[in-house]
Amino acid sequence: MKRNSSIKWTLPLLLTLSLTACGPMKLGNQQQTEGNNTLSGNVIYGSDGRLDYYQVTDAKIKALADSTVALIKTTDLTASGNTVSIRGRNYGTDMNLCATEKYREQDTAAFCSGTLVGPDTILTAGHCIETMADCSSTSFVFGFAVKAEGVLTKSVQSDAVYKCKEIVKTVRVNTAEDFAVIKLDRAVVGRKALPVRATGDVDAAASLVVIGHPVGLPTKITIGGTVRSLSPAKHFVANLDTYGGNSGSGVFNLVTGEIEGVLVRGEQDFESRGGCSVSKVCAEGACRGEDVTKISAVRPFLSTGGVVTPPPPPPVAKVEKFSSTTALAIPDNNSKGATSSLAVSSAPKGRSVSLTVNIEHSYVGDLVVKLLAPDGSSIVVHQRAGGSSKNLSKTYDVSAALSKVSVSGSYKLVVQDLASQDSGKIVSWSLEFK
């Protein structure tokens, strides 16, 4: 997933992972598998952007997470009254993680992820559930999430645990579609079935959210995924912060909240360093990306399979645009730069936000461009890139950086020219909230 740094993180000790099918994930002396199949080795693009449930404040995104389900072997659950205990394994210990690794104190328990798409219907990856034997030995557990800082999830209420009734459809093609539609033993209570895209497939410019159980951990939410390629017929390739265990995770459109596809394959995860395991690092864009089964491959089985998933009405997007057309000279070789202010009478409040700049300059490689929000938040959108190219007219998605800004006020565009000889000016710029 693209973020401010240009690195890609992965997870260690995965043995002989295939890029077109999932490979086994080693957990200490145990090997965890998805039914009779193996975990997908996926990866993180840029800096690690995964968030625990309690760290997300957007109610709409939390609602998506509430309808995400962990696939856990029934033998790892113990019922006592109205409570079901989850037998997990310490992530840091079993994976021999180095002290710097994120979430090393949490437990892993899930082998795959899924999403509620009908009152009693789950959508997951086909290699997670291929046979009724796989399905019968699996429990579908909602609420396996860290809901308060420092409070690790060891159990859930019994009404959050469901069993498999039947497989509507399961498909596994290692180089194409990979999905399973599962009927549960009863209708799910207290959680909403999530909408899928009614027609067509994901747009190349879509901002994506992936929610699931990387390496079997409690629910992780990552915003800011991007599409890399739409050319495969049955799947698309994206930058998504995912690991093995995210297989079957719903991939959502950040704007509409609709499911665009199912995460199924990706890059391998870990490497050893100094006697312990760390997330592997590779350059942004240098790795293969993550494969997502297109929702168009699944959609026929959601309707003919008896899943109650009526097409949602087209979203009505409220768009607010604020612009500045006052030209402002950019001082040459001056770290103070030029600051243009824009009065904004609304707040992002988790909405999609785009920044458009029109800057005339004879050498854009001299420039640093950043946006300052009324609450002090800032994001650098251009960092001395482009070399000798002239002028900078571009639109940037700044939704992730401004998702927590809940106040209106003065936004500032700061443009610094940090080298001599070339000069220019801010012609205009704008912010659009959708």
Question: For residue 279, is pLDDT > 70?
Answer: yes
Q: What is the dihedral of CA 237, 239, 240, 242, to 10 degrees?
A: 80
CA-wise closest residue to 196 among 142, 252, 235, 112: 252
Q: How confident is the model at residue 28 (pLDDT cuts 50, 70, 90)?
A: very low
Quick one: pLDDT at residue 311?
56
Average pLDDT of the residues in 4-8: 27
Q: What is the domain partition of the chain in residue ranges? A: 7-304, 320-433
More confident site: 280 or 202: 202
Provide CB contacts within 8 A for 180, sequence distance 6+: 123, 124, 125, 126, 128, 129, 130, 167, 169, 170, 171, 248
CA-wise closest residue to 181 among 246, 237, 115: 115
CA-wise closest residue to 309 among 251, 273, 258: 258
Helix (H, G, I), strand (E, B) or coil at 110: coil
Fold (CATH) for 7-304: Thrombin, subunit H (2.40.10)
Quick one: pLDDT at residue 317?
67
Cα(99)–Cα(65) distance, rounded to whole angstroms? 28
Quick one: pLDDT at residue 145?
95
Fold (CATH) for 320-433: Jelly Rolls (2.60.120)
Place of tokens 């168009």: 296
Note the pLDDT tens digit of each residue in 180-225. 999 999 999 999 999 999 999 999 989 999 999 988 999 999 887 8
Q: How confident is the model at residue 34 (pLDDT cuts 50, 70, 90)?
A: very low
Quick one: pLDDT at residue 31?
34
Q: How confident is the model at residue 316 (pLDDT cuts 50, 70, 90)?
A: low
More confident site: 37 or 293: 293
Note the pLDDT tens digit of each residue in 60-76. 999 999 999 999 999 99
Note the pLDDT tens digit of each residue in 85-117. 999 999 889 888 899 888 889 999 999 999 999
Quick one: pLDDT at residue 271?
75
Cα(174)–Cα(176) distance, rounded to whole angstroms? 6
Helix (H, G, I), strand (E, B) or coil at 74: helix
Note the pLDDT tens digit of each residue in 363-390. 999 999 999 999 988 899 999 999 999 9
Share of the chain above pLDDT 90, in %: 61
Question: For residue 269, is pLDDT > 80?
Answer: no
pTM of this structure: 0.61
CA-wise closest residue to 273 among 11, 4, 3, 8: 11
Q: How confident is the model at residue 25 (pLDDT cuts 50, 70, 90)?
A: very low
Cα(237)–Cα(288) distance, rounded to whole angstroms? 8
Quick one: pLDDT at residue 385?
92
Quick one: pLDDT at residue 220?
93
For the chain, the average pLDDT equals 83
Question: For residue 48, is pLDDT > 90?
Answer: no
> Do the Cβ atoms of 278 and 249 come closer than 8 Å?
no
Helix (H, G, I), strand (E, B) or coil at 135: helix
Q: How confident is the model at residue 278 (pLDDT cuts 50, 70, 90)?
A: confident
Q: What is the dihedral of CA 159, 144, 164, 198, to 10 degrees?
A: 100
Of the ranges 7-16, 103-112, 320-329, 414-423, which one carries the lowest mean pLDDT score? 7-16
More confident site: 241 or 411: 411
Quick one: pLDDT at residue 272?
82
Question: For residue 10, is pLDDT > 50?
Answer: no
Q: How confident is the model at residue 27 (pLDDT cuts 50, 70, 90)?
A: very low
Q: What is the dihedral of CA 37, 43, 48, 54, to 10 degrees?
A: -20
